[in-house]
Structure formats: C-alpha cells, structure tokens
C-alpha cells in the first residue's frame, strides 16, 4: 500500500535521488515525485514554484535553466550530510526507479496553464526516449487539462487525479479522463466519498498520511495506497 512521498521526505531531502533510495530502503515499492520544466524546457524533479525552500538558490524554477539548477545545493537545507545533493532531472529519476525496481507516481506540477502542453510533451518524450516500463508508471496531477493531454499522448499509462476538495459532481467531471485512480487529501476523506470512488471502479490513494496508527482505519474505508513522508514507519 505504501508510496514514499517525494521519495521519503522525512528521511532525506525531498525529490532527490537519495530520497528515492531511502524510500526503497524502507521497503516501499512505489515512490511519488514531482516534475516541472526548467527555463530550457527540461523536466526536473522539484515540488515548489521556486527553488527557495529546498535549495541554496533563489528564483522560479521556470526561469532557471538546467545548468543553473545543477549548480544549486538541494540537500544541505535538510542536513549537512546531504550537502552537494543536486536537483535531479526526470531522466535521472527514471533511471533510479528502474535501478531500484520502484513503480513511479509522477506528479505533473502545473503552475502556469500556458506551459501544460509543453510539460506533458517533454515528459512523454523523456519516458519514450528512456523506454521506461509503462506498467511501472502512473501520471498524476491536480490539472484535468494535463491529464487529458496525457490520455491523448500516452493512453496506455495510468492516470490519477489529485484533489483536496470533493463534491457531488466530482466523479461526473472526471469520467472522460478514463482514470486509474483518485488521490485525495486524507483529511477530507470519509466513508461516503470513499464508497463513491470505489463504486466507480477507481483506485483510491490518500496523501499525505504520516500517522501509522491511522492506516488500519483508512484501509477499512477502502483506501488502496497511502502516500507518506515516513514509509519506514509504515
């Protein structure tokens, strides 16, 4: 059930190769990471719109080219033993997942609606170029537009919609996307929502649960996957 969030975000600097390694060492068979485009349209692995929180640099990811991003320290903020850790490219992350036999939940970060098409195109290009095993990949996003483009360009790859709100019309609005899964904030999940998602034949994922003692209750609701910063504790 366990998916390491941003690798294993409680054990190593999030969205780095060492974080992915820590998830695997913890026994997780799935890992979730985030991707967005650098200024030169290279898919890189980082969550925030800017590099400020998780590196020693400043500025928007979309305004920094790969060469600049690679000069940043993405580990020292977490602990000095991680000094020199780099922001990985999607290509490097795919290689790491193959090496560790992990299934990848890749979240497409869409901070700018104008670049959604380019982001999906570049991600699809890297996945195809690496000949990445498509049965080991799930593409997820808060953006229905991004998922629709994924559906058109890589229809055989599973798609997951991420949400932090849910209403009576949510399932209806997702039907055309032919989803594999819904990824819902665990804080809003209740039995009615869980039942509606499961009855629709969808896989149910929750994020980001860091309390192992609550796992059983969510399992009883029908949750299939738990995304957590602490895969080692689960």
Active-site residue numbers? 5, 47
What does the alpha-carbon distance between residue 112 and residue 124 come to, in Å, rounded to a whole number? 18
> DSSP H helical segments within the chain, as ranges?
17-25, 66-69, 90-100, 116-129, 144-153, 170-174, 191-199, 215-221
**Residue in the structure block whose two tokens are 């790969």:** 66
> DSSP H helical segments within 155-230, as ranges?
170-174, 191-199, 215-221
Helix axes 90-100, 17-25, angle to 10 degrees: 20
What does the alpha-carbon distance between residue 69 and residue 152 come to, in Å, rounded to a whole number? 31
What does the alpha-carbon distance between residue 208 and residue 39 come to, in Å, rounded to a whole number? 29
């Amino acid at each position: 059930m366990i998916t390491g969030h941003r690798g294993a975000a409680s054990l190593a600097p999030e969205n780095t190769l060492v974080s992915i390694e820590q998830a695997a060492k913890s026994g997780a068979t799935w890992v979730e990471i985030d991707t967005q485009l650098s200024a030169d349209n290279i898919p890189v692995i980082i969550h925030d719109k800017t590099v400020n929180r998780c590196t020693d640099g400043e500025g928007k990811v979309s305004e920094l080219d790969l060469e600049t991003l690679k000069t940043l320290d993405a580990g020292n903020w977490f602990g000095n033993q991680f000094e020199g850790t780099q922001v990985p490219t999607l290509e490097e992350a795919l290689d790491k997942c193959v090496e560790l036999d992990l299934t990848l939940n890749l979240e497409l970060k869409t901070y700018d609606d104008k670049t959604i098409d380019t982001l999906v195109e570049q991600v699809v290009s890297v996945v195809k170029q690496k000949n990445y095993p498509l049965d080991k990949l799930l593409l997820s996003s808060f953006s229905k537009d991004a998922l629709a483009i994924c559906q058109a360009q890589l229809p055989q790859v599973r798609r997951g919609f991420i949400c932090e709100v849910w209403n009576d019309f949510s399932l209806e609005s997702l039907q055309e996307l032919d989803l594999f899964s819904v990824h819902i904030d665990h804080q809003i999940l209740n039995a009615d929502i869980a039942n509606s998602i499961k009855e629709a034949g969808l896989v149910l994922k929750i994020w980001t649960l860091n309390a192992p003692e609550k796992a059983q209750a969510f399992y009883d609701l029908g949750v299939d996957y738990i995304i957590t910063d602490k895969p080692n504790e689960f």
